[in-house]
């Protein structure tokens, strides 16, 4: 495709991924936006957090653009958006800025747009397809189009928009001599399960599996064109009713394929054998916690399911990666001990084991949005306890950063001050620790009541339904 040229009368869009260039190039939506925006007639240059406020293509300064379109998957990346504006000498707050206008989208701003409300001129809530024409019209005309969220109007009722048609996918990729890009192929949108802690599941309902024959055709075509192993994208890949059909035919065609985290209770020996045959080296499972808590949280996965999968993986020469949570609501010492025993049993199978431990973070639009986060000291001790389980590799998410993430995710418009402060700080860890000591983050450690900062955002579940699910969980699990 020929790039739209930089001309005086062309609307100029800075496409910003607020993380590293390597992460940006692994994002399918970043590639898709790059081409779709140009198809719509906009001049586009890419920007990433590590490359500063000049475009990747032509080095055009950020301040010369009419719009900045940022796609975000992680709350702490809001800080990088603000940093980018400040580095460019542009006011970060929309009320002080004028141009360029900032448009933000992605799962965290869909669940709760308010932490970015002081910075963004428009926010895309939900999936890209049903919002696309609105976004194009807004940027082409400069006029507010109903359907997007405009924070300057206040916190008014707005709906998360979902795609009914998923044929609007774009697999063009930006040629990249410096680093390999990934080829993501969407297997399904949403998730048939409702694990109480999973924000993406709750904001992307209903579950919409794609036709497996179409996915296979895309895998075949993309591998033939780019020579890069395609990676399936789905919240729960093996919940797809034709997951094994897709793997079988991929094997028959001699194609490589990567699969994401899988549900152990849905994995049989044939599935694991097929996964090995498509060239996958690691099976990733997320037991999260003890069997008692796991089932209460919505994962009907037994310890035996996990160990059974690990045994077969060892037999097939596959590695195992386990994702575990600590600080889960209603967690007791016995749950940590049970989770450690499970890890030890997996290690006994002989499969090389990578253990990743992360603090539970309450997220908007989930039943656990009402629950307090566990204290920092508790999270540190729990991670240390889990780290004593036998493993070959171990990683964990910094509990202090987890608290910072929660502070932004659960905040209202006042969170803009936290984001700005972090953007201006030379040492983010010292900054967040100082706020913690001053008690400014105490709200993440307290129960929450309606109205919440995001109560005006209408999702698949009404707040009353989420509250009912939460109270039933507490009654059944904490008593």
What pLDDT is recorded for position 175? 73
pLDDT above 90: residue 165: no
Tally of helices (H runs) and strands (E runs) in the chain: 18, 15
Mean pLDDT value of segment 141-165: 96
In angstroms, the CA 38 to CA 438 distance is: 47
Confidence band of 8 (pLDDT split at 50, 70, 90): confident
The token pair that represents 23 in the structure block? 């992460």
**Span 400-435, pLDDT tens digits:** 999 999 999 999 999 999 999 999 999 999 999 999
Indicate if the pLDDT at residue 168 is higher than 80: no
26 pLDDT band (50/70/90 cuts)? confident
Q: Is residue 169 classed exposed, middle or buried when 0-12, 13-18 and 19+ CB atoms within 10 A define those classes? A: middle
The domain 183-398+455-477 belongs to what CATH superfamily? Aldolase class I (3.20.20.70)
SS3 call for 67: strand
Indicate if the pLDDT at residue 177 is higher than 60: no
Sequence-distant (6+) residues with CB within 8 A of 430 are: none
Domain with CATH 3.40.50 in the chain: 12-159
What's CA 279's distance to the chain center, in Å?
Answer: 25
User: 241-297 pLDDT, tens per residue?
Assistant: 999 999 999 999 999 999 999 999 999 999 999 999 999 999 999 999 999 999 999
CATH code reported for the domain at 12-159: 3.40.50
Under the banding of pLDDT at 50, 70 and 90, the label for residue 1 is low
Residue 5 has pLDDT above 90, yes or no: no
Provide the percentage of residues in the chain whose pLDDT is more than 90. 91
pLDDT of amino acid 455: 97
pLDDT band at 379 (very low <50, low <70, confident <90, very high): very high
If you search the block for the tokens 């507010």, which residue do you land on?
144
Region(s) of the chain under CATH 3.20.20.70: 183-398+455-477
């Amino acid at each position: 495709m020929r790039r739209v040229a930089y001309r005086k009368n062309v609307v100029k869009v800075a496409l910003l991924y607020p993380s590293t260039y390597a992460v940006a190039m692994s994002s399918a939506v970043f590639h898709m936006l790059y081409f779709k925006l140009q198809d719509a007639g906009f001049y586009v240059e890419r920007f990433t957090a590590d490359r500063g406020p000049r475009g990747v293509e032509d080095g055009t300064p950020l301040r010369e653009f009419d719009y900045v379109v940022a796609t975000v998957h992680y709350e702490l990346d809001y800080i990088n958006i603000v940093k980018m504006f400040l580095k460019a000498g542009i006011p970060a707050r929309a009320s002080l800025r004028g141009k360029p206008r900032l448009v933000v989208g992605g799962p965290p701003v869909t669940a709760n747009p308010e932490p970015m409300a002081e910075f963004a001129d428009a926010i895309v809530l939900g999936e890209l397809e049903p919002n696309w024409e609105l976004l194009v019209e807004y940027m082409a005309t400069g006029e507010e189009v109903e359907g997007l969220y405009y924070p300057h109007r206040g916190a008014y009722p707005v709906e998360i928009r979902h795609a009914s048609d998923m044929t609007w996918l774009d697999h063009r990729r930006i040629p990249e001599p410096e680093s390999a890009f990934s080829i993501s192929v969407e297997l399904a949108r949403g998730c048939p399960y409702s694990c109480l802690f999973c924000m993406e599941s709750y904001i992307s309902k209903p579950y919409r599996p794609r036709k497996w024959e179409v996915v296979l055709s895309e895998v075949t075509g993309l591998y033939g064109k780019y020579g890069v192993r395609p990676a399936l994208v789905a919240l729960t890949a093996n919940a797809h009713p034709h997951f094994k059909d897709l793997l079988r035919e991929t094997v028959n065609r001699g194609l490589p394929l990567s699969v994401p985290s899988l549900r152990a209770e849905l994995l049989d020996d044939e599935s694991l054998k097929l996964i090995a045959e498509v060239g996958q080296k690691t099976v990733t499972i997320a037991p999260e916690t003890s069997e008692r808590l796991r089932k209460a949280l919505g994962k009907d996965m037994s310890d035996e399911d996990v160990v059974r999968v690990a045994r077969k993986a060892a037999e097939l020469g596959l590695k195992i990666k386990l994702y575990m949570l600590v600080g889960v609501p209603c967690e007791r010492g016995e749950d940590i001990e049970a989770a450690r025993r499970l890890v030890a049993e997996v290690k006994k199978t002989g499969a090389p084991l990578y253990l990743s431990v992360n603090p539970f973070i309450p997220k908007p639009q989930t039943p656990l949005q009402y629950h307090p986060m566990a204290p920092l000291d508790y999270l540190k001790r729990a991670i240390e306890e889990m780290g004593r389980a036998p493993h070959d590799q171990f990683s964990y998410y910094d509990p202090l950063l987890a608290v910072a993430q929660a502070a932004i995710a659960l905040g209202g418009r006042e969170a803009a001050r936290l984001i700005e402060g972090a953007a201006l700080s030379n040492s983010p860890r010292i900054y967040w620790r100082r706020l913690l000591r001053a008690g400014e983050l105490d709200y993440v450690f307290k129960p929450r009541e309606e109205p919440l900062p995001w109560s005006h955002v209408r999702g698949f579940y009404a707040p009353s339904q989420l509250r009912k699910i939460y109270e039933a969980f507490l009654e059944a699990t904490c008593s």
